[in-house]
Amino acid sequence: MSETGRCELCSTTAGELLWSSPACRIVLVNEADYPGFCRVIWTAHVREMSDLSTAQQQALMAVVFAVEAVLRQLYDPLKINLASFGNMVPHLHWHIIPRWADDPHFPEPIWGRRQRDSTGLRPKVSAAQLAAAMQQALAALPDLPQ
């Protein structure tokens, strides 16, 4: 099977779809410990940011930063964490994660050592509310190249 045929980001939505364009999509991860945790997934099976053109880099990051802005508006977290690794799934995708001082891993990254089990109260935001806010924020952006 080809590399793209085996890639879960090529063959599945990999989350709850909030918004999509030909170039990329935004999905909600739905992880109980991390409400609002979203991923932005580039559509094409590309490995690194530096494999994209400058216009594509800017378009993808504009979506990532729009997601960050929406998450700040709806969740008012202490901090936003951004990361693109791709060590296990080498298909370009970004993690956008709202963080709070009493979340399970703070101040470590969520991939670090778990610090505590309890988490504080978080704003209740539905996937539909998130999708509407993303749609509104992204309508202002120019068309994304593929």
**Which one, 27 or 63, has the nearer CB to a second copy?**
63
Residues 28-47, one symbol each (x = binds a second copy by CB under 8 A, - = not), give: -------------------x
Residue 85 binding a second copy, by CB under 8 A: yes
Binding test (CB under 8 A) with a second copy, winner from 19, 68, 93, 130 = 68
In a 3-state reduction of DSSP, which class is residue 110? coil
Contacts by 27-30 with C-beta closer than 8 Å and gap 24+? 28/127, 28/130
Residue (of 8, 36, 30, 32) closest to 93 by Cα position:
8
Distance CA 111, CA 6 (A): 24
Query: Which residues sit at the interface with a second copy, rule CB under 8 A?
Result: 47-50, 54, 57-58, 61-62, 64-65, 68-69, 72, 79-88, 90, 99, 106-109, 111-112
